[in-house]
Structure 1
Amino acid sequence: MRTRTRKPAHPGGILFRKHMEPLGITITELAHRLGISRKALSAIVNGRASITPDIALRLSRALGTTPELWLGMQQAYTLWETANTRMEWRDVQPLNVEDIRKLRPLTDGARSRGFSDAQLTANAESDPDNPLLNEAFWEHARRASPACKTPR
């Protein structure tokens, strides 16, 4: 992920500075032209609401731009805000491809191909490095499917 040091401008501010001010159009007038409420447009212009795909289509039609322009600006703004104000995403660990490959036999797909729980656990027990022997994995499996039994 490319890291931006500066917060991007909210697309509502850009709408106001680059389009509304030069045209001399008010929030009330533009809202009427767009077919939305003055309150909704005011929230966007003042950075309190996001530009939705519907609003992006309306703005692009009225101002001769593209919906992708408005949605791209909104996406950049929202992503920066989330990355810099919420920290939970930093706790996510990268996936280990080897662990995923070892877990695959226990998917519903393996069961639908005729593997029984006994066959799957026998395969898991024959490989001492298999993460299926991990108690945390089986705790998760039991929560997901109460019928799932921990191999002993």
Structure 2
Amino acid sequence: MDNWQDITDDRLVRPIHPGEVIADILNDLDINTGHFADILGVSNQTINEIINGQSSITVDIAIRLGKALGNGTRLWLNLQQKVNLWDALQSHKE
């Protein structure tokens, strides 16, 4: 298998923003954004901005998500990093 950057370089569409994954999880768990924001200890606005792809997953949010959902910090940081790398590569292609 090629290395991770080669896979990202050849990708034609932007990777899924971690906010979309969070939205799917909340939908599956039937939890609204306000309740989830309370669980994480952040504002509802913060969660909505992440879900809408307007904000990135920070290290702090990744830690909170990993603890709340039991899936660890790295998952969220890796998802965000793929988006960030793809966006940067696209801006350099122009």
- Say whether the fold is shared (TM-score over 0.5): yes
1:43 aligns with 2:52: no
1:70 aligns with 2:73: no
1:16 aligns with 2:20: no
Compute the displacement of 1:14 (Å): 0.8
Identity among equivalent pairs (%): 37
State the one-letter code of the partner of 1:31.
A
Residues in 2 aligned to 1:26 and 1:78: alpha-carbon distance in whole angstroms: 27
Unaligned runs of 5+ in 2: none
Residues in 2 aligned to 1:47 and 1:27: alpha-carbon distance in whole angstroms: 14
Residues in 2 aligned to 1:59 and 1:32: alpha-carbon distance in whole angstroms: 12
TM-score, length basis structure 2: 0.87
Unaligned runs of 5+ in 1: 91-152
Partner of 2:37: 31
Superposition RMSD on alpha carbons, in Å? 1.0
Deviations 1:64-89 (A, max 9, x none): 101000000000001101111x22xx
Q: Which has the higher helix share?
A: 2
Name segments (4+ residues, structure 1) moved above 2 Å. Answer: none
Compute the displacement of 1:5 (Å): 1.8
State the one-letter code of the partner of 2:39.
R
State the one-letter code of the partner of 1:15.
I
Deviations 1:100-146 (A, max 9, x none): xxxxxxxxxxxxxxxxxxxxxxxxxxxxxxxxxxxxxxxxxxxxxxx
Higher normalized contact order (CA 8 Å, seq sep 6+, divided by chain length) = 2
Compute the displacement of 1:8 (Å): 0.3
SS at match of 2:67: helix
SS at match of 2:50: helix
Compute the displacement of 1:12 (Å): 0.4
TM-score, length basis structure 1: 0.55
Residues in 1 aligned to 2:34 and 2:85: alpha-carbon distance in whole angstroms: 29
